[in-house]
């Protein structure tokens, strides 16, 4: 069984979001880049599966669409334990474009794992698009994956509860929180071994982006918080009814 993990390179989640002067692009100055948190959890789970599968998982490969500066993120994935990394040398313009690029390298895997969204543009789309492009099955909001007798047993969240489901491979699993407890911290041994693991750079294909982001805005500033004394807490409920009119 071969597993592919789609990796996004996103600003650290504590980043204070800023845009350029005419608000047409994200201001990346001083930003620390990280593996998209959901993708990192997916990779962690893939490593756990590989380690506990008794050889059933032969390889875990990571792939992203990005320029050379995103290689640090891929090498971290290699340090965490991935066997190989693939970088498609293009700007990740939008979900459809990214999925089209990934489709060129993603065939032949039994399981592809993608994070449910990216922490930057929250597209929620690459995994599902890739599945459709490759004619693979997909399942989303996945919070658990086990391998039982060579089959995948999947926990997914549905609106109104959760389910245990089975789907045949090849499969794209779009994962969310819970898929792994916490992202794995790379060990010295892994960091050392990452030096000699393959990182393949692939040229992009032509694909026309169908969407683009033209400008950005910040949420409107909040008015000052109205403070109520602890022993007058009941008044707050009355304000919610009479002033805010939300009760």
Partner 1 sequence: MNFEFTEEQLMIQQAARDYAQRELIKDVIERDYKAEYPAHHVKALAELGFMGMLVSPEYDGGGMDTVSYVLAMEELSKVDSSLGVIVSVNNSLVCYGLEKFGSPSQKEKYLRPLARGEKIGAFLLSEPEAGSDATSQKTTAEDKGDYYLVNGTKNWITNAHSGSTYLVIAQTHPQKKHHGINALIVDKNTPGISLGPHEDKMGMRSSDTHSVMFTDVKVPKENRIGEDGFGFKFAMQTLEAGRIGIASQALGIASGAMERSIAYARERKTFGKFLYEHQSVAFTLAEMAVKIENARNLCIKAAWLKDQGKPYGVASAMAKQYAADIAMQVTTDAVQIHGGYGYVKEYHVERLMREAKLTQIYEGTSEIQKIVISRDLFR
Partner 2 sequence: MSVLIYTENWDGKFKKVSFELASYAATVAKAMQLPVIALSLGPVDDSELSKLSAYGVSHIMKNSDERFNTLDNQAIAKAIALAAEKVKATLIVLAHNNLGKAVAPRLAVRQKAGMVSAVHGLPFSYDPFTVKKMVFTGKAFSHAVIHSGVKVITLASNSFGLVENKVDFAPEAFETGLGDADFVTRIEQTNKITGKVLLNDADIVVSGGRGMKSGDNWGQLEELANLLGAGTACSRPVSDEGWRPHSEHVGQTGKIIAPNLYFAFGISGAIQHLGGVSSSKIIVAVNKDPDAPIFEAADYGIAGDVFKVLPQFIEAVKEVKSNG
Instruction: Examine residue 156 and tell whether it contacts partner 1 (CB under 8 A).
Output: no
For partner 2, the binding residue among 79, 126, 180, 194 (CB under 8 A) is 126
- Residue where the block lists tokens 């190989």: 84
Q: Looking at beta carbons only, is 128 or 186 nearer to partner 1?
A: 186
Binds 165: which of partner 1, partner 2, none (CB < 5-8 Å by kind): partner 2
Distance CA(199)–CA(97), nearest Å, equals: 22
Cβ-based neighbours of 192, under 8 Å, separated by 6 or more: none
Q: Looking at beta carbons only, is 189 or 211 nearer to partner 2?
A: 211
Q: Three-state DSSP class for 144?
A: strand
For partner 2, the binding residue among 27, 51, 107, 162 (CB under 8 A) is 162
Instruction: Examine residue 20 and tell whether it contacts partner 2 (CB under 8 A).
Output: no
Residues comprising the chain, all counted? 247
Q: How many chain residues touch partner 1 (CB under 8 A)?
A: 13
For partner 2, the binding residue among 44, 64, 73, 140 (CB under 8 A) is 140
- Residue where the block lists tokens 């000699």: 196
Backbone angles phi, psi at 74, to 5 degrees: -65, -40
Closest contact distance (angstroms) between CB of 72 and partner 2 is: 21
Distance CA(202)–CA(193), nearest Å, equals: 22
Q: Looking at beta carbons only, is 103 or 191 nearer to partner 1?
A: 191
Binds 223: which of partner 1, partner 2, none (CB < 5-8 Å by kind): partner 2
Distance CA(20)–CA(200), nearest Å, equals: 33
Backbone angles phi, psi at 104, to 5 degrees: -75, -20
CA-angle at 129, arms to 99 and 90, nearest 5°: 10
**Residues 60-79 as x/- pattern, contact with partner 1 by CB under 8 A:** ------------x--xx--x
Alpha-carbon distance values, 140 to 199, 215, 245 (Å): 28, 30, 37
Cβ of 111: how many Cβ atoms within 10 Å? 22
Instruction: Examine residue 182 and tell whether it contacts partner 1 (CB under 8 A).
Output: yes
Q: Looking at beta carbons only, is 52 or 163 nearer to partner 2?
A: 163
For partner 1, the binding residue among 189, 211, 235, 240 (CB under 8 A) is 189
For partner 2, the binding residue among 17, 72, 107, 192 (CB under 8 A) is 17
Residues that bind partner 1 (CB under 8 A): 72, 75-76, 79, 182, 185-189, 191-192, 195
């Amino acid at each position: 069984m071969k597993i592919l993990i789609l990796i996004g390179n996103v600003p650290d989640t504590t980043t204070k979001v800023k845009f350029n002067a005419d608000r047409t692009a994200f201001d990346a100055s001083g930003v620390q880049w990280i593996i998209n948190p959901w993708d990192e959890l997916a990779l962690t789970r893939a490593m756990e599966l590989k380690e506990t599968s008794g050889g059933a998982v032969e390889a875990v490969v990571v792939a992203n669409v990005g320029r050379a500066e995103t290689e640090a993120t891929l090498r971290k994935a290699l340090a965490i334990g991935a066997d190989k990394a693939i970088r498609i040398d293009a700007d990740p313009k939008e979900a459809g474009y990214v999925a089209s690029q990934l489709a060129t390298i993603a065939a032949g895997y039994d399981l592809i794992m993608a994070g449910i969204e990216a922490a930057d543009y929250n597209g929620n789309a690459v995994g599902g698009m890739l599945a459709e492009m490759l004619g693979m099955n997909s399942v989303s909001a996945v919070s658990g994956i086990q391998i039982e007798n060579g089959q995948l047993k999947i926990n997914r969240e549905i609106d109104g509860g959760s389910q245990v489901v089975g789907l045949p491979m090849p499969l794209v699993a779009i994962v969310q929180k819970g898929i792994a407890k916490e992202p794995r911290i790379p060990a010295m041994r892994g960091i050392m071994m990452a030096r000699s693991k393959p990182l393949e750079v692939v040229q992009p294909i032509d694909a026309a982006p169908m969407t683009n982001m033209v400008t950005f805005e910040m949420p409107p500033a909040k008015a000052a918080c109205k403070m109520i004394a602890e022993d007058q807490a009941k008044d707050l409920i009355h304000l919610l009814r009479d002033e805010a009119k939300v009760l």
